[in-house]
Amino acid sequence: MESSSPSSAEFDVFLSFRGFDTRNNFTGHLQKALRLRGIDSFIDDRLRRGDNLTALFDRIEKSKIAIIVFSTNYANSAWCLRELVKILECRNSNQQLVVPIFYKVDKSDVEKQRNSFAVPFKLPELTFPGVTPEEISSWKAALASASNILGYVVKEIR
């Protein structure tokens, strides 16, 4: 995608996903399919745990579309949850298109933080050491909000 001005989006799509769950299957195949169709997508394969999130947030801001792949372990990752909050901020402020995909998870579990989406929040001080209660609340609100955006449910690999 060519950029016509510095404020233009640099990427067509930003992919938010839990690498442990989907990097080598669903999300990997999705990114390949997007690229085969000439769609620029950003996947955080060069950023590692503990890296500064500023660069990642910049990529989110510079994307036209954000695809969120909710999977079993998505809510176990502070990184994913911070991405989610930033994506929703961009949706509200920049009218970024957001497409949630519920990969082998129930949409209502994401919305209501049940089952695998409840586990990390039972003892958040252990799951997310050093994270404030306010940030935990913002993550829960973001999960509920994102689950109410029109998206796709993928129950099994086809």
Active-site residues: which are they? Answer: 83
Give backbone dihedrals phi and psi of 50, rounded to 5 degrees, phi first.
95, -15
Residue 157, classified by CB atoms within 10 Å of its CB into exposed (0-12), middle (13-18) or buried (19+), is exposed
Residue type, 3: S
Identify which of 69, 138, 64, 57 has the alpha carbon closest to the alpha carbon of residue 100: 69
